[in-house]
Amino acid sequence: MLKYLKIKNYALIDSLETEFFSGLNIITGETGAGKSILIEAFGLVLGERASADAIRTGEERAIVEAIFEIKNNKLIQSFLKLNEIEILEDLILRREISTKGSSRSFINDSPVSLNTLKSLGDLLVDLHGQHDHQSILREETHINFLDDFAGNEIRLQNFKNNFTEFSSLIISRDELKRKENELKEKKELYQFQLKEILEVNPSIDEEEKLEQEKKIGDHAEKIHSLAEEIYLKLYDSDNSALSILSNVKRKFEELSKIDESFKNSIDEIISAEAITKELAHTVDKYRGEINFSDERLEEIRQKLGALMMLKKKFGGSIETVLAFKEKLQNELLLSENFEAELSKLDLQIIEKRESLAKLAKEISAQRKTIALNLEKDVEKSLVELGIANGKFKVEILNIELENNSSSEQFVKINSKKIELTQNGIDAVQFFLSANIGEKPKKLTEVASGGEVSRIMLSLKSALANADKVSTLIFDEIDTGVSGRIGFAVGKKLQKLSKTHQIISITHLAQIAALAQNHFAVEKIETKNRTTTQLKKLNQDERISEIAKLLSGEKITESSLKSAKEMISQV
């Protein structure tokens, strides 16, 4: 529900702030006072296109701000959450346009795109009249009106879930076919690349081990010489470390006979002898194992060269080569199983298509049944609203595809290929004949203005319990109707205001008298400038305003009396 509206520097509006309320809000005012400007400005904050020409002369920018009550409105809260916008107690929309032609949009002080603002505006307000913010004139919305009237929400959601799964299966099947064709072209290349890798047969850490083995092979003679020298110096020479330690031990034994404190030193010498013998044994064993042939060294060099070639061709490291090998094996394995996988997906698509056909026929049958009720309800309202010979028709069509059509979005019904969308198999169009003897025409071809607004009012009355948009704005819905019909229009608005917030601009006293909240638009000239203002009227001001609607600018005693009687009868 719209709670507050602020407009600054827009056309004739200098600064305007007003509260709106639940129920029936009526706006009146003289022709040219700025009622339409008020609606245009409000349209900006709902995402309508802006023009710098509308900025008040002498100002650099215009600002429109609207505050909506969204308590318990899960649809709006879901929208905000989906778009990562902070959820506050109230919803604040703001639009700024500058003389430079730039425009900025905000939701709860978060900058958003104009499309995001418009999408949210469509959920908050339906604005009807001489304005392009009219969902009834968008043919693609007709099916939604019918489904709302039918209460199809749960059944449709089930269908849409199945449709999404169906579409995903088709995408998967098409992707698999594309993959099959691609693999057919690349299979020989993949086989050749896999053969290259398998012939080398690399493994993790193999390259590091081979490099170490090559290093040893390249220095085998030096290693053997150094090992032999170490062995001789440790163990097998007259002046070896072991001989020296043995001689030192004997000296310590002689010392310990004189001074027993050297006994511990003897134990350390014995330990040193054991370590020296172990080192000598280790290096002697290593020396004996060094038997590196030129053939083995050449073999290692060739393997390292092959590994280098693989790294250069397939990724820069042995890890990436092995990952590429696994990918090739999987791709080639897949190429051998395409037929089975495609058959499996084709079967799932057939089963899902049959399931969708069943659900779509059920939904279509319900639409056709409920369409008759909607036609009757709307035609009854049209008579009450002054379109006495109005004929409202709901046409439900199926689009048949040619048998050679490449589209996969279809179901088979009575051996015919019927186009399938997320709404089922139906395309819905509203038709209207406003005059007797005229053939009904597409509603989208009917002139906009009061007539379209009354059709929308009839639809909104029929859909009152199902409609999710809480605020309806009617711009001069009473255009071209008499006072008697105007009163009927007003009663419709009054009834609709029990389930929606209604804001209606009118020039008829019969409608204005039904207002729960009455506002007047007026032009004021101050300091050689013309300004449009909006004022909420008290009871006495209401009587004067309605009297003015009855008698013109000059209020008479008779018109005041009539105004009081009209208000008292509400």
Task: Tell me the helix, strand and coil percentages in the chain, rounded to 5.
Answer: 55, 20, 25
Contact 136, 128 (CB under 8 A): yes
258-294 as b/e, with b when 16 or more CB fall inside 10 Å? Answer: eeeeeeebbeebeeebeebeebbeebbeebeeeebee
**Given a cut of 80, is residue 478 above it in pLDDT?**
no
Amino acid (1-letter code) at residue 564: K
The string of pLDDT tens digits covering residues 169-211 is: 999 999 988 888 877 777 778 888 888 888 888 888 888 888 7
**Average confidence (pLDDT) over 149-169:** 92
Contact 387, 498 (CB under 8 A): no
Tokens 């004949």 sit on residue:
433
- Structural domains in the chain, CATH included, are 1-134+449-537 (3.40.50.300), 180-335 (no CATH)
374/381 Cα distance (integer angstroms) = 11
Q: Structure pTM? A: 0.63
**Given a cut of 70, is residue 450 above it in pLDDT?**
no
Contacts (Cβ under 8 Å, ≥6 apart) of 95: 44, 45, 50, 63, 64, 65, 103, 104, 105, 106, 117
**Given a cut of 70, is residue 448 above it in pLDDT?**
no
Contact 323, 271 (CB under 8 A): no
474/502 Cα distance (integer angstroms) = 8
pLDDT confidence tier of residue 328, bands split at 50, 70 and 90 = confident
Angle, in degrees to the nearest 10, between helices 483-496 and 450-462: 40
568/539 Cα distance (integer angstroms) = 11
Mapping DSSP to helix (H, G, I), strand (E, B) and coil, where does residue 552 land?
coil
Contact 418, 398 (CB under 8 A): yes
**Average confidence (pLDDT) over 358-362:** 94
Mapping DSSP to helix (H, G, I), strand (E, B) and coil, where does residue 162 land?
helix
473/501 Cα distance (integer angstroms) = 8
- Nearest CA-CA partner of 65 in 8, 14, 112, 117: 8
Half-sphere exposure of 115 (CA within 13 A, CB side): 1
pLDDT of 419 reads: 94
> What are the tokens at 150?
């039918």
Higher pLDDT, 524 or 165: 165
The string of pLDDT tens digits covering residues 221-267 is: 788 888 888 888 888 887 888 888 888 888 888 888 888 888 888 88
Contact 433, 440 (CB under 8 A): yes
Contact 66, 93 (CB under 8 A): yes
Amino acid (1-letter code) at residue 146: L
> What are the tokens at 40?
């245009």
Contact 513, 491 (CB under 8 A): no
- 141-145, 205-209, 535-539: lowest mean pLDDT where? 205-209
Show the beta-strand stretches assigned E in 377-482.
Answer: 391-397, 410-413, 416-419, 427-433, 441-442, 471-475
**Average confidence (pLDDT) over 462-490:** 78
pLDDT of 135 reads: 65
The string of pLDDT tens digits covering residues 30-67 is: 877 788 888 889 989 999 888 888 899 889 999 999 99
Contact 371, 413 (CB under 8 A): no
514/25 Cα distance (integer angstroms) = 9
pLDDT of 447 reads: 52
Contact 242, 234 (CB under 8 A): yes
Longest dimension (CA), the chain: 149
Contacts (Cβ under 8 Å, ≥6 apart) of 416: 400
Query: φ, ψ for residue 128 (rounded to 5)?
Result: -120, 140
pLDDT of 131 reads: 47
Distances (CA, A) of 478 to 128, 455, 481, 506, 544: 12, 12, 6, 6, 21
